[in-house]
Structure 1
Amino acid sequence: MFIRRKPNKSGSFSVQILDKRDGRNRLIRSLGSSKIEEELREMERQASDFIARYGGQGVLDFERAARVSPQEEADMLFNRIVDVRHDAPRLILGRIYDCVGFGALGDEALRSLAIARVCEPKSKVATVEYLKRCFREDYRLHQIYRYMDTLYNTRREQIQQISVKHTRRLLGGRIGIVFYDVTTLYFETAREDALRSPGFSKDGKTAESQIVLGLLVSRDGYPLSYNIFNGGQYEGRTMIPIIDDFVQRFSLTDFIVVADAGLLSRKNIALLKQAGYRFILGGRIKKESKSVQDWVLSLGKDPHKLNETVINGDERIIVSYSDQRAAKDRHNRDKGIQRLRKAYSSGKISKRNVNQRGYNKFLVIENDVMVSIDEDKIIADARWDGLKSYVTNTDLPANEVIDQYHGLWVVERAFRITKGSLEARPIFHFTERRIEAHICICFVAYKLYKELERLLRLLGITLSVDKVLDIAKTISTVSIRLEDGTVHTRTLLNTAEERMLAPLLPG
């Protein structure tokens, strides 16, 4: 018997015990492999001990002694494991990242940050730890911050180009309908600057500064374009700049803009018409002219009938009625009136009842002021219960106009996913470049989220994206070093739920 140090293709060496019999060398035992001289010498020492112990025995006895027990065999297997990680979410989302087209950017930092935002949305400090622990990606916090300082200016245009190209492919080459809405993202601070400032918060955060995010999506909620504005910007002034920019950059033609009533203003409508855009906007009946209001109130409240008329020359106003909407309007009004009756049950308003925000705190009320509820106004308001209007310059049938408008839920859901699952807010960055980079990363993350959602539908996997990612986090990827020094990696699918995700994983 003798010891052999066998070279491997990987550059390592395997230490083996061989026995020469009938002119041929027969492998008795392998002690392992390594590139480190100290480890190789230790394995050779163990081999020498083995030969000293069993080398003088007969061949049959030696073969019996050389056989390893099941426990020893298991130990040998486990000793060859060089890494165990739970990176199935990265494998799934990385595959989607490339299929969408983002892989063409060659930007590994963007890939890692966007995938981490979907898997484990946390602060950048926690993200660095997560990437290291689960994905074995070694980033330093200062590297992330330096990267964010350049991301927005270098990648934003390319990212949106890729997203639009992919969305067009999904929709058969034509965008057709674009939905626009805005939301607000707040900071855990009241500090103000050119971008961050107080404003009307959709999250009810009146004390914190914020930014306004405008988002343009297609049918089914696929993201197309976005922009951010000063937190105090009136949302009605955000729509036209984004749409104009989008149309010019992507040569968009033959499309319809859909937006809610909050963006309805005569100025916006004039600008939309001036640019030749077709639109469907949520109407505000009580803001229309008296003649239009009288016409609306003259209509019967039939939930099965749609009424329309032409206004301003080339616009149509379509009015629908819903019993369910009427019940909701009535319920909300009754709740508000009950609060009023309780607050002013004495029939007087005192200083403590006055809104204390702004400069009202300087008001002096020396004598109580008499106050009463106008019952006639309540009756007048009830006449509008259940009525909803839509303004359009398209020639679509009335029912199709309403169906397209109801598609706005996709952009509302986009905001819920971005704020909820992706935790885009609160924002902890304070420089404009890093704030913009944070939103850019969230945009890519939302695109990955939506594409995974689409693939789940195609595969017939009736689980939510969040549930799929929770299951993926339990999947182990094991790397084992073989005797020749090569490392083999396998993703283990142990449960029925894990095996369900096999089509999402790389082959």
Structure 2
Amino acid sequence: MLHIRVIKTKGNSRSVQVFRYRYTKRVIIKHIGSGTTDEQITALQEMARLFIADLTKQSFLFEDTKPKRDTVLVNQCDYIGVYYTYFFDVLRAVQHQIGYGMAVDSLLNDLVVMRIFEPASKLRSIELMETYFGIKHRRQRYYESARKWLDLKEGVEKLTLAFAKKQYNFNFSLLFYDVTTLYFETFTQDELRKNGFSKDNKSQQPQIVVALMVTPEGFPVGYEVYAGNTFEGHTLIPSIKSFIKKHKIAHFTVVADAAMISTDNVAALRAEKINYIVGARLGNVAVGLLETIDANLSRTDGSVIRIKTDSGYLICSFSKKRYNKDKYEMQKQIDRAKLVMSQPSKVKKIKYLKSADSKIELNEKLIEKTTKLLGIKGYYTDIDETVADNATIINHYHDLYKIEQAFRVSKNDLQTRPIFHFKEEPIQLHMLVCFMALAVSKHIEITGELSIRAFSALCKKITDARLLNTITKQEIKMRAAVAPALQEIIAKIIRPH
């Protein structure tokens, strides 16, 4: 039987000891520590009780004598580091909300958390999980599970879409579509990784083309991966058809940028009975249509016209602010062209220069055409004005910036690129992890009303200090206080349903 005693030592100090009787003599088992105040002695006594309980499994007869395991004196502990468990718990709660929690392997979910916390390779992420969260995974388990995860793409998209319907009332009335390119840290091409037009200005390096579909709020609901030399306009119909087939959609409207408009795409969209709102490249319109626009569109700020064409209704709007910007850019290019003309030895391809009879001269026709289009923005749609007026169509198109925001989050915060994988299966797995991380990140941004970078910075301040009790040899965690402002943000993000 072990006992606790408090004895006086030098001065005002008192010492707390654990002892037992052996043949009527006291035998000191452990010197717990010394203190000068009643509070310190009480804490040391609690630590002594905890030491006895852990050493002997000795039970305490009375409730008020049971040891309190959160009692600790700092001078009796060694600091061994911090965990970011609060960050992990919050993101895991969001994953459960979306539906990933029970349906997706825990290691895959943990890789998604790490992609948001500190992007790294998959194997490096497994190491960092133990460092930052105290979560251990075997590397071998990753190799055993990774192939199975490739079959989860469709299931993950369905879970994400179901969440979008529930959380954001997504009803397919508007689906925003765009593509981007992701480059590789290599110069070797294959069937998937090919050189093409790079949006990252990495034309010498192979890449893939990624198509993304988002809700009007900017929440992702689907993605597709194409070879790096695929023209972005050729991705629209395959992606949309795949989306329709997977989710059995009867009707919706797709919103996309000007690169997606072509005679073939318009015909295919009409055949699938899909409404569309796409940007128009007015610089490519026929001369007759340009004259119609020039003659009918008033150059007053906010003026709009609608013209019926073979590609649907062409809506054109004029903005004084856009006019000033376009005029400035055009004049700058004309001045540059004139400068190049004055130095024949430095002639190179310039927008407003043309070659005629072995002479370099200004392209007056192009300047005249560009002048007519200053300040004008165009949009194609097949939606009748009785269903959606011009202002509604224009506003819907302008919401495309939300998909651009999603790409920025993916590329910058989640560091989707550059990609270091060299085989198609790891590349597809990388995209699955990044898509899931993007869904978690965008939900936090939309509901929490702050960027994922700012949110992460706030959550990373809430650390669990790890202390090793030198008496009991047990690890104690002490969490930093959560600021009320962060609690309010979390309450908006994680709402009970």
TM-score (norm 1): 0.78
Aligned to 1:418: 410
Aligned to 2:114: 116
SS at match of 1:220: coil
Tell me the CA shift for residue 162 of structure 1: 0.5
Deviations 1:70-106 (A, max 9, x none): 9x98547854989741222211111101111101214
**Whole-Å Cα distance in 1 between the matches of residues 160 and 143 of structure 2?**
24
Tell me the CA shift for residue 285 of structure 1: 2.5
Deviations 1:411-435 (A, max 9, x none): 1111111111111000011110000
Aligned to 1:7: none
Which stretch shows the higher mean deviation, 128-137 or 274-283? 128-137
**Whole-Å Cα distance in 1 between the matches of residues 239 and 264 of structure 2?**
15
Equivalences for 1:93-492 in 2 at 5 Å? 93-141=91-139, 143-152=141-150, 154-172=151-169, 174-299=171-296, 300-312=298-310, 315-347=312-344, 353=348, 370-395=359-384, 396-457=388-449, 463-478=450-465, 491-492=479-480
Residues 283, 391 of structure 1: 8 Å contact kept: yes
Residues 168, 175 of structure 1: 8 Å contact kept: no
Deviations 1:445-479 (A, max 9, x none): 0000011123314xxxxx43212211211212257
The one-letter code of the counterpart of 1:120 is E
**Whole-Å Cα distance in 1 between the matches of residues 182 and 490 of structure 2?**
37
**Whole-Å Cα distance in 1 between the matches of residues 419 and 165 of structure 2?**
31
Tell me the CA shift for residue 392 of structure 1: 0.9
Aligned to 1:60: none
Residues 130, 136 of structure 2: 8 Å contact kept: yes
Tell me the CA shift for residue 499 of structure 1: 5.8
**Whole-Å Cα distance in 2 between the matches of residues 444 and 74 of structure 1?**
41
**Whole-Å Cα distance in 2 between the matches of residues 308 and 386 of structure 1?**
16
Tell me the CA shift for residue 209 of structure 1: 0.5
Tell me the CA shift for residue 199 of structure 1: 0.2
SS at match of 2:171: coil
SS at match of 1:372: strand
Q: Percent identity?
A: 26
**Whole-Å Cα distance in 2 between the matches of residues 387 and 451 of structure 1?**
35
SS at match of 1:88: helix
**Whole-Å Cα distance in 1 between the matches of residues 460 and 43 of structure 2?**
36
Which stretch shows the higher mean deviation, 493-502 or 303-312? 493-502
- Which of 85, 90, 93 is the equivalent residue of 1:92? 90
**Whole-Å Cα distance in 1 between the matches of residues 302 and 461 of structure 2?**
51
The one-letter code of the counterpart of 2:410 is T
1:493 aligns with 2:474: no
Tell me the CA shift for residue 259 of structure 1: 0.7
Please list every run of 5 or more consecutive structure 1 residues that lacks an aligned counterpart in the other structure: 5-15, 20-27, 33-44, 52-62, 356-367, 458-462
SS at match of 1:319: strand
Residues 185, 210 of structure 1: 8 Å contact kept: yes
SS at match of 1:286: helix
Tell me the CA shift for residue 292 of structure 1: 1.8
**Whole-Å Cα distance in 2 between the matches of residues 506 and 489 of structure 1?**
27
Residues 448, 490 of structure 2: 8 Å contact kept: no
Tell me the CA shift for residue 388 of structure 1: 1.4
Alpha-carbon spacing, 1:344–1:487, altered in 2? closer, same or farther (3 Å)? same
Aligned to 2:55: none
Tell me the CA shift for residue 279 of structure 1: 0.8
The one-letter code of the counterpart of 1:134 is Y
**Whole-Å Cα distance in 1 between the matches of residues 30 and 245 of structure 2?**
78
Aligned to 1:359: none
Tell me the CA shift for residue 382 of structure 1: 1.1
The one-letter code of the counterpart of 1:475 is I
Residues 258, 281 of structure 1: 8 Å contact kept: yes
Deviations 1:108-130 (A, max 9, x none): 11111111111112233542332
Alpha-carbon spacing, 1:303–1:345, altered in 2? closer, same or farther (3 Å)? same
Tell me the CA shift for residue 489 of structure 1: 5.8
**Whole-Å Cα distance in 2 between the matches of residues 289 and 342 of structure 1?**
31
Residues 88, 505 of structure 1: 8 Å contact kept: no
Deviations 1:253-294 (A, max 9, x none): 331111111110000000000111111111122333333222
Tell me the CA shift for residue 347 of structure 1: 3.6
**Whole-Å Cα distance in 1 between the matches of residues 230 and 261 of structure 2?**
15
Q: How many residues align?
A: 442
TM-score (norm 2): 0.79
Residues 95, 506 of structure 1: 8 Å contact kept: no
**Whole-Å Cα distance in 1 between the matches of residues 363 and 253 of structure 2?**
43
Alpha-carbon spacing, 1:78–1:210, altered in 2? closer, same or farther (3 Å)? farther
The one-letter code of the counterpart of 1:185 is L
Residues 347, 372 of structure 1: 8 Å contact kept: no
Alpha-carbon spacing, 1:372–1:407, altered in 2? closer, same or farther (3 Å)? same
SS at match of 1:215: strand
**Whole-Å Cα distance in 1 between the matches of residues 127 and 232 of structure 2?**
38
Tell me the CA shift for residue 142 of structure 1: 5.3
Alpha-carbon spacing, 1:485–1:259, altered in 2? closer, same or farther (3 Å)? same
Alpha-carbon spacing, 1:435–1:78, altered in 2? closer, same or farther (3 Å)? farther
Please list every run of 5 or more consecutive structure 2 residues that lacks an aligned counterpart in the other structure: 7-14, 20-25, 33-37, 48-70, 351-356
Equivalences for 1:46-61 in 2 at 5 Å? 47-48=28-29
SS at match of 1:229: strand
The one-letter code of the counterpart of 1:379 is E
**Whole-Å Cα distance in 1 between the matches of residues 161 and 27 of structure 2?**
62
Alpha-carbon spacing, 1:505–1:160, altered in 2? closer, same or farther (3 Å)? closer
**Whole-Å Cα distance in 1 between the matches of residues 456 and 278 of structure 2?**
37
Which stretch shows the higher mean deviation, 118-127 or 247-256? 118-127
Residues 148, 438 of structure 1: 8 Å contact kept: no
SS at match of 2:464: strand
